Structure 1
Amino acid sequence: MAFRDTRIARRLIAPLVAAGMAMSLASCAARPASDDAAAGGSQSASTGSVAVFTPSDGVTLSGDTPLNKWTKFVPELTAALKKAGVAKKRIETTSSDSLDKQSRDVQDFVVDRVSATSSGDAAATTIVIAPVTSPDDTVRQYGDYVDQQVGSSSDGTSGTSDDQTLQDAESRLRSALTLARENGMHVVMLAGSLDGFRPDVYVRMSTAEEIGRVQATKMVDKLDLEKASTDNPKNIEVLLACTPASGDDGNAEACADGDGAAFAAETFRGAWSVLQPYFKSGQAVSPSGTLDKDTGSDDWRSVAFSSAEDDDVAAQLRERLSMDGKGKPQTHTRIDGVIAMNDHTAALVAKELGELGYTGSAADINPSITISGIVENITGKKDLQRDKVPDPIKAPEEQAGTTDADGQKAADEANSRWPIITGYGAYVDSMPLIVSGQQWMTALEDRAALAQDTATVCVKLNAGETVSRNTLSFVSPGKVDGVNVPTVSEDLVAVSASNLKTALIDPGYITPADAGL
């Protein structure tokens, strides 16, 4: 059956609903569940059926490829479901390139399942859905799993036929999922929410706040800001690229409208929650003056810039460092750390720093770590020891005096040293930068763990069990659209050269060749 309007579907299946619900509830009550089955035990009727609906993979403007893609997650989830005992023939996967198509696909599935239930061909069913959202071009650079609400858009349009199509699709999807729950099916939502609908379980992947916080945390640790002197503070810049509105003149205020702006604001809030104490104490400063002790958690516009082209990132970095980039500069502005927010921006920052004459790599921050040592660590031949290197109390130029030629040379050399650069997304193209030390770290979702968690939840729901923190360690109380919903979550995985092998190569996320080895 393929009814294209939920209201029509409701009228046609109304006589079947009551019987379907009774059979579904009886089915759930008659299925004893066990942790063994949920953890991958023998196949049984209690494992039921699972239908997975995900967006078609998004495409980044640069052509870079982040590891957090839906085409990577679905096979892992399918394998985890099979291991948990769900029969292959009872696992359906569907990808959609628009919310309109996804809503129709889900509606068709729900109507078919209700009909099957009423005819006696019943099996406990869980729908796993990652709603198709509309991230703008910059948000898309963080990968496919970022938390977004259905209908989120930053294009600034309103009152168009596209808007009406989107509203119709939202309504259709909401009605279809509500109909599913009314008939005993369960709904697990991945990395996205739908206004006015409460799922049985929500699987949170990465939020904008978490993305900012993990980078700032690793920056603080690597630069050892706790021990930084106010007489020799660390110089840190936060680059927050956002998509310009149509007709934008390059002003960062153009990023102030839409959900893309909300994402940027949350990303900054996460980073600033970690960095703010060090700027207040004077242990960290911003060479450009975009951040200071008075900066608040809502002042994201101070570091935001409109990024329509790759050259915009380079221009912004040159402006922050007061360098025009024309030929080899005579002097450099000291920069110890750059939070680039995503790997696309991080790669452009690394490229521009090279053109501006900055030298070395992140490994230079700790002389006990060499590039050859990094390679040996990745290939499993050597462990890295990361002892902190204490900074002098005074900055190099203050120790030597500006009139001392040798001292000035030492200061210039110190100022041109390569900074710590952080990103997010674990782009395959960025792996060689991680190995070489040009980019210090990236981060990504723990895709394998999230797939396993989701499979466990599906089996428990199909078996009629409660999903809560009391029964599963990876579940915690959470809210979706302001309503309490059991929430699955895993910590983000931070990756640098020291753990790239164990975090990405050993699990099979990338190959040694991807890392340039």
Structure 2
Amino acid sequence: MALALCTCASCSPRTASSNSQASSLTGTVDIVTPTGNSAMSSNLPLNNWESIRSSLVKSLKTHGFVDSQISESHYSDLSAQINQIKRITNTYKAEKDKHPHTLIFAPHQPIKTSYATAIAQRFGDTVTQNTLNNDELEFDNLSDSQQDEYTSLHKQLASALKDAQDNGITVVLMSHKVPDFSENYFISFATAQSIARIQTDNLVRKLQLDKATIKNPQAIEIIIPLNVGAQFAQQLFSASWKILKPYYTTGVAFSPSGLLDANSTEDDWRNVSVPDDSADSISSALKVRLTSSDESSNNAIVNVDGILAFNDYIAQGAVSALTELGFTGSSAQVNPDVTLDSIIKKLSDNVDVHKQRVPQPNNSSTDDTNTTDSNSQDSQSTPYKKRNPQPNHTILTWPIVTGFGTYIDAIADIVNGKIWISSAEERNSVVSSIAALSRAICEKKTSPSQLEKSVPNIQNNTVTAPLFAVNSDNLKKTLLDTGYITPAEAGL
């Protein structure tokens, strides 16, 4: 098949370049994805379907495929994708000399809801969005005609994919599962849960919560945007709270706003939600949460040690709000001996990070510390009661702020330490795994033991895209050396 690039419902094939060499492989590959976010925008997540397709084609060639064995197309709606799958299947049916053929397919959302759009724009094209069930709020919010269309398109898609399989095509799904269809292989990109875990794990270790004490608890705020839908928002909070709750229970972590405490559960995610992720919404929320309700403090702003923003757009809003509130410094001043590399090593090797806790500033008095401890106990016994800590710093020191997406527009804040980490899928790694899987399918070397040896990050026929965390310390290695961004985009 010729290499093709489709932008809508019709395709114009591009013949293989004249200098293409013959391949030792006999199989072919079709890549079909949504059109996705524009790669030209600097205020969107780093990974999008355009960059995935481009990187995957390059990796397929590295793994032995040539232009004539690769077909690439993208569409702006699911109906057009279904028609393309039918064309691929019919073309393969008509071939007399059958060869292994792989369909690498990322389904478009059946209905373009505001929730689906917000997830794609803020977290990325490739982030998994769950299928809506009839009993879920997002589905109920659709009109009757939209519900019918949603269900009908999924049935049509499942039928088209089953027909492809029945005719000998191996189906590799990316990002989203299809109801009533069993794919041959699945490529799992980031999920709400994995996005929350990588940020929360890194925050816990950077703040050294395992060494924190009740007399010196760490103040943490969580920001959950409602515009991504209840299901995605709840999954973000649930994954994060599973990690944080033990620290709230023991009193070594607390919420300055009092919106969360030791009695909070995964069902309390709405307590820390904001209506949307606009700058005004984030600013208003942080002003309210970080303003002491103690009458004697004259509405002073209290310090916060960490903010889980979950994506770079919210993180940038938090940076603006913190600056406006008078916070100074950068994340480099927070436990400076605990580096991102040491945290990554601990997460991968499960070894302790042997670092000492940075002491509190000298102007933190014993009385203030004891007051904080007492209030911690009060807040645990009274859920959602806003705490009234005395401001225990003369200076509002910059907290740890986390995000996801690695937006180009956020690079400056990452470099200067205003955003401590961003995170994203390791695109080069996952496309290499997909290419290796495609080669294994062509060579008919797909037993579990064979795949385990030849395909990185595969388990039980699922390839899981690893995530990276990036900050100013490892930006060159993580983003520049990998080719994800250019020096100019990094402001270098």
User: What TM-score, normalized to structure 1?
Assistant: 0.76
Number of the residue aligned with 1:507: 482
- CA distance in 2 between counterparts of 1:401 and 1:502 reads 41
Maintained 8 Å contact 1:151/1:170 = no
- CA distance in 2 between counterparts of 1:196 and 1:394 reads 63
Counterpart selection for 1:349 from 287, 311, 318:
318
Q: CA deviation at 1:409?
A: 12
- CA distance in 2 between counterparts of 1:277 and 1:395 reads 29
Asked if 1:126 is matched to 2:65, the reply is no
Q: CA deviation at 1:232?
A: 1.1
Q: CA deviation at 1:388?
A: 4.8
Maintained 8 Å contact 1:68/1:447 = yes
Number of the residue aligned with 1:268: 237
Distance 1:394 1:364, change over 3 A: closer
Maintained 8 Å contact 1:43/1:85 = yes
Distance 1:395 1:68, change over 3 A: farther
SS of 2:406's partner is coil
Q: Which amino acid aligns with 1:314?
A: S
- CA distance in 2 between counterparts of 1:492 and 1:107 reads 34
Q: Which amino acid aligns with 1:458?
A: S
Number of the residue aligned with 1:107: 86
Number of the residue aligned with 1:87: 66
Which residues in structure 2 correspond to 1:379-398 (within 5 Å)? 388-392=356-360, 396-398=364-366
Maintained 8 Å contact 1:148/1:192 = yes
Counterpart selection for 2:287 from 289, 314, 318:
318
Number of the residue aligned with 1:136: 116
Asked if 1:228 is matched to 2:226, the reply is no
- CA distance in 2 between counterparts of 1:395 and 1:345 reads 32
Q: Which amino acid aligns with 2:418?
A: Q
Asked if 1:435 is matched to 2:415, the reply is yes
Number of the residue aligned with 1:164: 148
Distance 1:395 1:492, change over 3 A: farther
Q: CA deviation at 1:170?
A: 1.8
Maintained 8 Å contact 2:451/2:458 = no
Number of aligned residue pairs:
426
User: Unaligned 5+ residue runs, structure 1?
Assistant: 1-40, 244-254, 371-384, 403-407, 479-485
Number of the residue aligned with 2:394: 413
- CA distance in 2 between counterparts of 1:284 and 1:365 reads 16
Q: CA deviation at 1:106?
A: 1.3
Distance 1:386 1:94, change over 3 A: farther
CA displacement, residues 26-61 of structure 1 (integer Å, 9 cap, x when unaligned): xxxxxxxxxxxxxxx993234x1000011111369x
Q: Tell which deviates more after alignment, 220-229 or 340-349.
A: 220-229
Counterpart selection for 1:242 from 226, 236, 251:
226
Q: CA deviation at 1:89?
A: 1.0
Q: Tell which deviates more after alignment, 451-460 or 310-319.
A: 310-319
- CA distance in 2 between counterparts of 1:401 and 1:180 reads 66
Asked if 1:451 is matched to 2:431, the reply is yes
Distance 1:401 1:84, change over 3 A: closer
Q: Which amino acid aligns with 2:242?
A: S
Asked if 1:68 is matched to 2:47, the reply is yes
Q: CA deviation at 1:350?
A: 0.3
Maintained 8 Å contact 1:54/1:96 = yes
Number of the residue aligned with 2:382: none
Maintained 8 Å contact 1:103/1:170 = no
Asked if 1:292 is matched to 2:289, the reply is no
- CA distance in 1 between counterparts of 2:309 and 2:184 reads 36
Q: Tell which deviates more after alignment, 48-57 or 390-399.
A: 390-399
- CA distance in 1 between counterparts of 2:394 and 2:270 reads 32
Which residues in structure 2 correspond to 1:206-221 (within 5 Å)? 206-221=190-205
Q: Tell which deviates more after alignment, 186-195 or 294-303.
A: 294-303
Q: CA deviation at 1:155?
A: 7.4
Q: CA deviation at 1:137?
A: 4.1
Number of the residue aligned with 2:270: 301
Maintained 8 Å contact 1:313/1:348 = yes
SS of 1:192's partner is coil
Q: CA deviation at 1:98?
A: 1.0
- CA distance in 2 between counterparts of 1:395 and 1:472 reads 57
SS of 1:203's partner is strand
SS of 2:103's partner is strand
Q: Which amino acid aligns with 1:509?
A: Y
User: What TM-score, normalized to structure 2?
Assistant: 0.80
Number of the residue aligned with 1:192: 176
Q: CA deviation at 1:79?
A: 0.8
Q: Which amino acid aligns with 2:53?
A: V
Q: CA deviation at 1:169?
A: 2.4
- CA distance in 1 between counterparts of 2:37 and 2:129 reads 14
Distance 1:228 1:149, change over 3 A: closer
- CA distance in 1 between counterparts of 2:165 and 2:59 reads 24
Asked if 1:494 is matched to 2:473, the reply is no
Number of the residue aligned with 1:148: 129
Distance 1:78 1:278, change over 3 A: same
Maintained 8 Å contact 1:343/1:442 = yes
Q: Which amino acid aligns with 1:67?
A: L
Q: CA deviation at 1:488?
A: 0.6
Q: Which amino acid aligns with 2:465?
A: E
Maintained 8 Å contact 1:232/1:393 = no
SS of 1:67's partner is coil
Distance 1:231 1:209, change over 3 A: same
Percent sequence identity is 30
Across the aligned residues of Structure 1 and Structure 2, the Cα RMSD in angstroms comes to 3.1
Maintained 8 Å contact 1:99/1:132 = yes
